[in-house]
Every structure is written in structure tokens, then in C-alpha cells.
Amino acid sequence: MSYRRDLRRYAAFLADRGIGEPTAIRGEDVTAFLVYLREGDTHHPPLGSGSAARTVVAVRGLHKFLLRDGLVEADVAASVKPPSPPKRLPKALTVDQVQAILDAAASPGTTLAGRDRALLELLYATGARISEVVGLDVDDLDFEAASVLLRGKAGKQRIVPFGSYAQAALRDYLVGTRPALAASGRGVAAVFLNSRGGRLSRQSAWAVLVRAAERAGIAADVSPHTLRHSFATHLLDGGADVRVVQELLGHASVTTTQIYTLVTIDRLREVYATSHPRALG
């Protein structure tokens, strides 16, 4: 139904331009139709990128059909690309929400509280991927330099600093909880161990965060990547340079990191609107 409606709208647009035969359609007509979809008119509201992309796909399908059946000599719509979907802003927790999760990880009565607190402190302190943290060996931690060696995608390595809170949580875990866990296993070098003394899995580490978020009463969906998003957003909110954040996250291109600046711009607008004496009329 939507395919038929899209093509009817395309035919009406062409008719308004005085085009009645497929052979008279040019590439610029297809491009103009896309612009028309995004701008709208008195009878049609502007289409979002998703709806416009769907309509352009229908139009491109029509022109492929016309070429395949020999009704035209060229596919004039082939070079017209559907609009890209808007960048989705990463979900970031507030600093207070992160603090609540970290506190909940170390709640009394949980036998692995020391490990869980150290795990989540390190995730938030470094912005590391969950796979990078569960892949850590003890020798990857440098307490003198307060840094950790992370192994990212395609084997790329980077050294990332961590703060005093993560350092204290790691020391407490390595001295307190980890030796007892290691005694149950075969002496693996992993930093984070499961209850059997083996390396903690990615899935189990994820579950640690989810349980802590539930105990903290955080209703939003929280994943290890949420802490990574929050790490980047909070750094930028605090004035960090985007290229520094790029290096810390291990992004190959600063373009990947720049999506986080969209979050901080929204925050800047919010602060401006509530703080500037002439922001609101």
C-alpha cells in the first residue's frame, strides 16, 4: 500500500513538472522529488529521513523496472541516494546515576561485591569496551602510572589512565576478593575472575552491571556501552578535547567520537536556556 502511495505521489510530482512519459524523466527530476519530499508543501508535511528514504527506494525500484523492460535507455534514479538516517544520540547516564550504580555494586551482603565494584569502576573510569576489560590480565594494570593497557578492535592497543576511585577499588579487589576466587581455579592471569576461578565472561560482566542498575533503581536500559557513552559525555561536559576522548575510546576516526558532542551541545543549550537572563522571551 505504501509503495503504491509513494509512486502515485511521484507521478503527481512529475505531472506538475509537465512530464508525462518515462523517457522524459531526468536525474535532476528525481533529485528534485527528494528535495520536495523533505520540504513538503501545503498538502503534505515534510517527510523525515526514514519516510523519504522509503519513497526514494520505491522510485528507484520503478526506474529499475522501466530499464529492465526496455521502456527507457538508462536508469536516471541510480545515482540518487536515499537520505541517511539521523545520528542517534548515545544514551548517557547522569553522574549521580553512575554513582548510584557503583554504590549498588558494592552493597553489603553480596559475596562478590569487591570484584563487581572494581569491574564497574574500571569500566566507567576508562570508557573501555566490556570485551577489553574482561580480557585484561593482572600485568596489564600499572598502579604506579595509574593506567591500564587495553586491547581493542583489530588488536590495537592503547594505554588509558584511571582515577583514584578505580585504583582503590582495584587494589581492594586484588588483595581481598581475587585471591579467594583464584584458589578455586587453575591460576589464570585474568584480572576479573568468576566464582570458579576462571576468567569472567563478557555475559557475566554484563549481568553484574544490570543487577547493580536494578538495585540502584535505574529504570533506563543500562549496558556496558552505556557506561562507555557516559564516560565520553561526562569528559566532554567537563571540557575535554574531542581528540583526547577519541584516543581514550580507541576510535580510529574522530568522526566516530564527534557524535558525543551532539549530546553536550544539547546540554549546553539546556544550561543556556536556564541561565542566561535573555535566553527566553
From 63, 199, 228, 234, the catalytic residue: 228
User: Catalytic: 173?
Assistant: no
From 36, 124, 173, 260, the catalytic residue: 260
Q: Is there a contact between 80 and 74 (Cβ–Cβ < 8 Å)?
A: no
User: Catalytic: 124?
Assistant: no
Query: What are the grid coordinates assigned to 159, written together?
Result: 594505554
Residue 88 burial (C-beta neighbours within 10 Å; 0-12, 13-18, 19+): exposed
From 151, 229, 234, 251, the catalytic residue: 251
From 202, 215, 225, 267, the catalytic residue: 225
From 8, 153, 156, 171, the catalytic residue: 153
User: Catalytic: 60?
Assistant: no
From 129, 151, 229, 234, the catalytic residue: 129
User: Catalytic: 43?
Assistant: no
User: Catalytic: 165?
Assistant: no
User: Catalytic: 63?
Assistant: no
- Hey, which residues are catalytic here? 129, 153, 225, 228, 251, 260
